[in-house]
Amino acid sequence: MKEQMKQWLARDPDPATREELQQLIDAGNAQELAARFSGRLAFGTAGLRGVVGAGPNRMNRLVIQETATGLGHYLMKTVSTAAEQGVVIGYDGRPDSKAFAHDAAAVLTALGIKVYLTHAVAPTPLVAYGVTALNAAAGIVVTASHNPPAYNGFKVYWGNGAQIIPPHDQGIAAAIDQAAVQPLKLLALDEAQQKGLLVWLDESFYQDYRERVKASALLQNHTQPASVSLAYTAMHGVGAALAETVLADAGFTQVYSVAAQREPDGTFPTVNFPNPEEPGAMDLVIAEAKKHQATLACANDPDADRFAVAVRTEEGEYKMLTGDQVGVLLGHYLLTRTNPAESLVGTTIVSSSLLQKIATAVGAEYFQTLTGFKWLTNVAMQKQSDSKQFLFAYEEALGYTVGNMVWDKDGLTALLAFAQLTAELASHGRTVWDQLEAIYREHGIYLNAQVSIALSPNSPPIGDSLRQQPPEEIAGRNIVRIDDLKTSTRHFSDGTTEAIDLPGSDVLIYFLEDESRVVVRPSGTEPKLKCYYEVIEVIDQVDTLAHGFQRAQSSMDELIRRHQNSLTGMTAD
């Protein structure tokens, strides 16, 4: 490890991280040094993400330069026209993001690859858009999205505009490992520009995205937008300018931004955790909404690829919608804006199955993928055809994409579509809550929950234990079907089986006789088991929604309690 640290100090271009490492060495901090040099920050389907600091197991300029070198070599080996097509690069408002993005550009242009570099911070969906709009071979966004301030990341898109999936992730990772032991080449950005290898994406690029949003057939519902008011927060991220612009373009005149959170600030001074799902993160935007008695309190996460909303109730309070509720409302709405028989919609295996029910009822095609937006959009591209155009997809973790303008989650167009949905309802004297109730009355209340269980570090893989002794019932409800994604096999209670058309993954899905569902999968990053639950409660016209929800919640509580108890012994104390 001493030799590793010596080599690192010799290669590191950043005096700040060189000094940081030298101080750790001088202090003899063996534990911290081991944490930083025991391995390399793993490159996966989301690219890189980790704490900023010195060493190969942290995010820093040297890791970025090695990663960009590996990506560049892999691109040129895999895509014959990669150098001419180029790579789009953008970055968020975190302290190191601009330097990391410029380093990536310096590396790629040194390899002879053209680079399109945003002149300022950019929302993640803008970069995903740029990959296809500019016909680039790949895209890079330097962002840690909604992670805490100490983090940064390096997200990679393939030439189709979607996040990378296998085998590209493994191929890039192998090329990075080679780059880490070879001399690195960089080209000064001024020189790269003179050679025609660097194109600055100036304000006209941002305006191009804006014009495409204005022209989108799915975002043309301008039904009395001025009558709806909404509060908005960018959560110290990069979404405010474009969010406010696309809303104004669509006629929304009552938009109130949270001033304290409007400008990019990677230290996130007003939130403990800049994730709209976290308790307290929406406090300021809800306060802003109350001040103006706004209909909606809306948020993008710091890189503006996620969207969250709290909706005003009859009592004047604000209640958060879950990611599934937003997804179902948007999916239902968009299916009314187009011909369902010619539409394709999708969700992931852990999202609510209500969208499937709605799609089936109106004759739209539905697809389901593994967890992660990379799967939703890559599969959508494969499945769409001239007769079935991709319309909408979502995942329960606040990710939505409307149409095929951006092949990744886009919190900006999701915000606009939801505002337009709300305005259309208001023009008929109805609220978002009225619409949600109408959907529940037609299809049933779909209630979803997630519970994570800490595992004993030494426990054998739970999935294997469950496969060896498959349960026949959960919480007193018979299992009628088990989907085992590790073996890509569907097992029915009568003993028959069929193949599942999904990539292999250590996931078990149990379908119960009352249409409840339990999904069990280990976390990919820590010793945890993630359990996703769904219960369905039918309500009739004389039943109140409140009573229906009470029954659904009681059913959910019992399902979770009894299922968790059945896993006792497999988990840590």
Contact 73, 178 (CB under 8 A): yes
Q: Which tens digits make up the pLDDT trace of 179-205?
A: 999 999 999 999 999 999 999 999 999
CA 282 to chain centre: 18
Q: Which tens digits make up the pLDDT trace of 223-277?
A: 999 999 999 999 999 999 999 999 999 999 999 999 999 999 999 999 989 999 9
Cβ count within 10 A of residue 392? 29
Q: What is the pLDDT of residue 76?
A: 97
Q: Where are the alpha helices (DSSP H) in 279-367?
A: 283-292, 323-336, 354-362
Question: What CA–CA distance (Å, rounded) separates 334 from 188?
Answer: 47
Does residue 481 sit in helix, strand or coil? Answer: strand
The tokens of 298 are what? 């809306």
Mean pLDDT of 31-35: 94
Residue 145 is among the residues annotated as catalytic for this protein: yes
Tell me, what DSSP letter sits at residue 54?
S
Q: What is the pLDDT of residue 241?
A: 97
Which three-class secondary structure string do you get for 399-446? EEEECCCCCCCCHHHHHHHHHHHHHHHHHCCCCHHHHHHHHHHHHCEE
Q: Which tens digits make up the pLDDT trace of 485-540?
A: 999 999 999 999 999 999 889 999 999 999 999 999 887 666 788 999 999 999 98
Sheet strands (E) in 435-488: 445-454, 473-474, 477-484
Contacts of residue 121, Cβ cutoff 8 Å, sequence gap at least 6: 90, 91, 92, 93, 97, 98, 238, 264
Q: What is the pTM of this model?
A: 0.95
Q: Is the pLDDT of residue 462 over 80?
A: no
Q: What is the pLDDT of residue 524?
A: 63
Helix, strand, coil in percent for the chain, rounding step 5: 40, 25, 35
Q: Which amino acid is at 160?
A: N
Match 């990539």 to its residue by tokens.
503
Q: Is the pLDDT of residue 1 over 90?
A: no
Match 């060493």 to its residue by tokens.
55
Quick one: pLDDT band at residue 541, thresholds 50, 70, 90? confident
Mean pLDDT of 206-216: 97
Q: Is the pLDDT of residue 572 over 60?
A: no
Question: What's the whole-number average pLDDT of the chain?
Answer: 94
The tokens of 457 are what? 């570090």
Q: Which tens digits make up the pLDDT trace of 306-340?
A: 999 999 999 999 999 999 999 999 999 999 999 99
Lowest mean pLDDT among 103-107, 553-557, 561-565: 561-565
Question: What CA–CA distance (Å, rounded) separates 417 from 38?
Answer: 46
Rg (the chain; Cα; Å): 24
- At residue 234, φ and ψ (nearest 5 deg) are -90, -5
Q: Is the pLDDT of residue 571 over 60?
A: no
Does residue 17 sit in helix, strand or coil? Answer: helix
Q: Is the pLDDT of residue 573 over 60?
A: no
Contacts of residue 95, Cβ cutoff 8 Å, sequence gap at least 6: 52, 266, 267
**Which one from 38, 97, 145, 523 is the annotated catalytic residue?**
145
Burial pattern 495-514, b for ≥16 Cβ within 10 A else e, equals: eeeeebebeebbbbbbbbeb
Does residue 455 sit in helix, strand or coil? Answer: strand
Question: What CA–CA distance (Å, rounded) separates 161 from 37?
Answer: 34
Q: Determine which helix (DSSP H) or strand (DSSP E) holds 375, and give its type and residue range.
A: helix 373-383
Sheet strands (E) in 148-193: 151-158
- Nearest Cα neighbor of 108 from 79, 154, 75 is 75
Does residue 35 sit in helix, strand or coil? Answer: helix
Q: Which tens digits make up the pLDDT trace of 151-168?
A: 999 999 999 999 999 999
- Give the CB-side neighbour count of residue 548, counting CA atoms within 13 A: 21
Tell me, what DSSP letter sits at residue 163?
B
Does residue 12 sit in helix, strand or coil? Answer: coil
Q: With pLDDT > 70 as the criterion, what percentage of the chain qualifies?
A: 98
